[in-house]
Structure 1
C-alpha cells in the first residue's frame, strides 16, 4: 500500500482499504511513501467450477453425516448431528474422534477429512469474526549464542513482546552461558485477525556499560492461526529459530521453542505442558581398563612408563591409572577401574581417555587419546 492511496471512513474496523487504480505502474518514480502491508486471501475460480465443487463437497459431507447418524441410532439409540463448523479447532475434532470411537469407528481419520472439506468455510469465518485467544509460548533453550563480551561468553536473558505486553527476564540472566536453558512458558492475549507478531529478543546482560542485543526473531501469529494445516496438529511442533542482529545477516544463535494459539473458550480444556527440568539423578560410570597394545616406546632405551588419564568434558573429576613402568613390549597391563560419580541429565556425556608417558624431569608426553 502506498500513502495517499488509502481510503477509509473514521471508525471502520479495517487495517487498510484501497481505491482502484486505472493505470499500470511501468517503473515510474512514485512520490508516495509506504504506509503498511495488506494481508488477505485471493481466490481465482470460474463460477461453474465453484458451483460444481460446492455441490460435490456438500454431498460428501451430507453422506458422512448420514452414516454417522445411522450408526449412532443403531448402537446408542439416539441421533448424532455432526456440526462441521467447529472443526477448525483441534479440541473439537478430538471430542468428535472420541465420540465416533464409541460407535466402533477408530481406523478412519474422519475428523481430518471433514476439516479439509470445510477448510474454506473455516478460514472465511476466522477472517470475518474476531476471536480472542491466548498465545502460549514455551521457551525451552538456546544454543550457540554469539558472545558480546571480550574474553568470556555472554550473559543471556529473554525479552518477549506481543501486542501491548512485554516480558523482560533481565533479572534472570544466566552468567557466562552460550547454551542457556529456559524451560518456561509465557502467556499473551491477542485478537485474530489483528494480532501483532510475537518478537523474541535475546540480550546480553551488562551491569556497567549497558546491555547488548544478541539477536531477535519474529513469529507471524496470524499465519499460524489461519493455517488449516497448523490447526490440524493437536501437538504443535517444536521450532528451531535462528536469531539475527539488525546489523548482520549472519545467525547469532538458535532458539528452541514452540507456540500454541488457543481461543479463550477452549482454554480450560488445553493441556499445560510441564517443561521444568527434572531433578538430577546420581549415577555411576565405571570404566575398566585391562591392558593396551602397540604403545609407542618413548624412552631412548626402548621402554615406556605408561599410564592412562580419564575424564568427562567438564574435567570436574580427572582420574589416572597406575603407571606401568619400564614397559618394553608395547603392551602395558593395568587391571584398573575408574569410577565417576555423575548427575543426569548433563550437558556433556563424552568420556575422554588419554595415554601418557610419565617423565620425572619434564612434563609427561601425550601419546594419544580416545573418546
Structure 2
C-alpha cells in the first residue's frame, strides 16, 4: 500500500553531456511482482545440441489428417485416428491469451515507453518504444545476521543478440473481411520480421473468404532486435493497389524466453519418423534435465532400461502412459517417450495451432478475420532443428469414372404411336455434380414397346479427387467475366437420367438414379431383384445377407442393376431399371487400359459391340420401308388384305363386263298413266 511506484527512464547519451529522456514508464503497482524467494521456478534456458536420423516413409495420411482429426472433422481425417497417431491442440485465441500460460510474460514483462511531457509541459501519451524487464519483490529478514534469500534471477540467457531460425506455419484463414465487389477477396500472405519481408503474392487464392494457405515460411532473425513478427493478409488486385485485409503481431522474444517452452510445442509422442517426426533441437530427456536444473530439483533417474523414471519425488512408468494406446512403427526409444510423457505433465505448451485475430489500422478494434497458424523459434547456437512439417494443401489426384450402360428394363412407356401402341424412344444421360458441362448421353433405342433398351455405351468422366478428404476438387469460373477460377469441394457422385426422345417437342423425363461413389449401393444381380427398396434399406436384412454400402474406390469395379425413380403425386415410383458397369481407374491405369467414350476408339476394356436391338427399333421418319413393314402393315394388314381382295374382285368384274362382245339393238319407250301419274318405261334389247 505504501510502496512507491517505480519509474523507468530510457536516456539518450548525446555529445556535450546532453542526456535527454527518450521515454519513460511508471509502474504504480508492484503487487503482481511479489514472490516467495525460496521457491525456484524455471526462467527459460537452453542447453546442448542433439542429433537425429531422419527417416522418410510414404504415408497414407498427411499433416492435414492430423489437423482435421484434432478439430473433430472425421470425414476429412480419414484413417488417421485409427492408427493411434498424435493430435494437436487447436486454440481458439492467441497463444499469449491462453490462461494457462500467463501471457507468456513469466520471464519478463513488456512496458510501453511514453514521451512524458512535451515542450509545453503537457502530458504526451505518444509511445516511443518498449521496455522489457522483470521485478521480484520480497521481504528481507529483519535480523542482519540471517542469511539473505537466494538469488532470484538465475540461468539468464545471453545478453548479446541471439540468431534464431523462425518457422512460420500459416494454416488457413477464417471469415476474412470482403474486399472485392463480389463479396469476396483474393488473399495472400505477407510476412515481415526485422528488415526481412516475404511477399507471397504469386500464391494468392482467388474468390474466397476462408482460404486454406498451407504455407511454411522460414526466416532468420536476431533477438531481441527483430522481436516483432508481423503476419498480414492482403487482397490481390490486378489493376489497382493491393489492399491490406488485416495484420497480427507476435512477440518472438517472449516466446523464446518463456518458461512454458512456447518456442516449440511438445507433441503427444516421441516419433523418429513419419509425419509426426520430432522437430525440436533437444531430445525430451535433455529438456527434462534442463527443467529439473532450473527448478532446483535432482536430475531425473531412469530405471528398467528407460521404462520407469523418478522425477520430483514421483515415480513414472511408460506403461501408465501407453497402456491403452496403439504402438506404431514410428515411435522412438522408450527412454525418450517416457521423458516426453513426464514433460507433458509439467504444464508446458503442447503442440498446437493458435487462432489469431487480424486487425486493420483503419479499424483497430474491429476484427478483419482470423488466422490459424503457429510459430517455432530455434536458436542457431544449439544446432539445427528437426525437419519442418509439410502443411502444403492437399493436391488432388486424377481419376476416371467409366460407366458402361448395357441395358434398361421396365422403363415407363410414355408415348402412344399413331397406331395406338404404348412405346418410348429411350436414351440415358449421365454426369457428375459440379461437372455439368461434361454431360454425356447414349444413342437412342427407338420404339421400345416393353420398356427394354439396349445400348452398350460407355461414359467416361475425368475428375480431380482428394483421397484423404474423399471429395472432388472442382475449379471453374463462376461467371464468364471472372478472371480466376473458384475451387469447390464436392462429394463424388454419379447422376443418371432416363429420357424419352422426341424430335418435334421437348424430351420427356422418365426417371433418375443418384449414386454416391464413396458409399455405393450394391447393385442387384438380376432385374427381378432390383427395386427402390434397395436404395433406402441398406442396413436391413439377416446378418448373412446384410446389404452395406461400399466405396467404389475400394472395389474399383462393380456391375449390376440399379433402379431409377420419378416423383408422381408426391411419391417416389419406379421409372425404370439400368444395368451398368462402374469402374474407377487412376490416370496411370487409364493410360495402360485406354477406353473411348460411347463406342468410339479405342473401343476396348471392354470392347463394346453395337447392341442387338429388335427389328422394331428404328426412327420412322428416316426408315419409310421399315415404317410400312413394322408399323402400318403389322397394325392394319387385314384391312389392307381385305381392300386388296375387294379391289381385285371389282377389277375382275369390271374387266369381265368390259370384255363381253355386246351390241345395243334398240330402245323401246313406253308411256302409261297410273293414278294420274305418267310412267315412262324403256327397254334395251340385246342380241348375241
| Pick aligned residue for 1:266 from 369, 372, 382 | 382
Aligned partner of 1:353 in structure 2 is 494
| Pick aligned residue for 1:18 from 21, 26, 32 | 26
Aligned partner of 1:362 in structure 2 is 506
2:353 counterpart of 1:239: yes
Aligned length: 290
Q: Distance in 2 between matches of 1:366 and 1:192?
A: 74
Q: Distance in 1 between matches of 2:265 and 2:189?
A: 30
Change (3 A) 1:9 1:44: closer
Aligned partner of 1:204 in structure 2 is 235
Q: Distance in 1 between matches of 2:500 and 2:154?
A: 74
Change (3 A) 1:363 1:332: closer
Q: How does 1:249-264 map to 2 (within 5 A)?
A: 249=366, 252=369, 255=371, 257-264=373-380
Q: How does 1:178-217 map to 2 (within 5 A)?
A: 179=211, 181=213, 183-192=215-224, 195-196=227-228, 198-217=229-248
Change (3 A) 1:148 1:332: farther
Q: Is the 8 A contact 1:306 1:327 kept in 2?
A: no
Q: Distance in 1 between matches of 2:225 and 2:371?
A: 26
Kindly report the root-mean-square deviation, in angstroms, between the aligned alpha carbons of the 2 structures: 5.3
| Pick aligned residue for 1:224 from 233, 255, 263 | 255
Aligned partner of 2:19 in structure 1 is none
Aligned partner of 2:201 in structure 1 is 170
* CA deviation profile, 1:328-351 (whole Å, cap 9, x unmatched): 999988776543334555734622
Change (3 A) 1:160 1:19: closer
The 3-state SS of whatever aligns with 1:224 is helix
Q: Is the 8 A contact 1:313 1:350 kept in 2?
A: no
Q: How does 1:79-90 map to 2 (within 5 A)?
A: 88=46
Q: Is the 8 A contact 1:217 1:242 kept in 2?
A: yes
> How far did 1:300 drift?
7.6
The 3-state SS of whatever aligns with 1:313 is coil
The 3-state SS of whatever aligns with 1:354 is strand
For structure 1, which runs of at least 5 residues remain unmatched after alignment?
A: 23-40, 58-83, 97-118
Change (3 A) 1:211 1:130: closer
* CA deviation profile, 1:262-286 (whole Å, cap 9, x unmatched): 1021353443455667887544334
Q: Is the 8 A contact 2:433 2:495 kept in 1?
A: no
2:461 counterpart of 1:340: yes
Q: How does 1:1-371 map to 2 (within 5 A)?
A: 6-10=7-11, 18=26, 20=28, 45-46=35-36, 50=39, 88=46, 92=49, 125-126=156-157, 131-139=162-170, 142=173, 147-151=178-182, 153-176=184-207, 179=211, 181=213, 183-192=215-224, 195-196=227-228, 198-225=229-256, 226-230=258-262, 231=264, 233=266, 234-235=278-279, 237=351, 239=353, 241=355, 244=358, 246=360, 247=363, 249=366, 252=369, 255=371, 257-273=373-389, 282-287=398-403, 299=414, 305=426, 307-311=428-432, 313-315=434-436, 317-320=438-441, 338-343=459-464, 347=473, 348=489, 350-356=491-497, 357-358=499-500, 360=502, 361-362=505-506, 365=509, 369-371=514-516
> How far did 1:170 drift?
3.4
Q: Distance in 2 between matches of 1:251 and 1:303?
A: 62
> How far did 1:202 drift?
1.7
Change (3 A) 1:288 1:148: farther
Higher mean C-alpha displacement, 326-335 vs 165-174: 326-335
> How far did 1:205 drift?
2.0
Q: Is the 8 A contact 2:10 2:23 kept in 1?
A: no
Change (3 A) 1:262 1:326: farther
Name the larger-Rg structure. 2
> How far did 1:137 drift?
1.4
Q: Is the 8 A contact 1:158 1:201 kept in 2?
A: yes
> How far did 1:187 drift?
0.9
Change (3 A) 1:362 1:133: same
Q: Is the 8 A contact 1:6 1:16 kept in 2?
A: yes
Q: Is the 8 A contact 1:88 1:228 kept in 2?
A: no
Change (3 A) 1:314 1:204: farther
Higher mean C-alpha displacement, 255-264 vs 297-306: 297-306
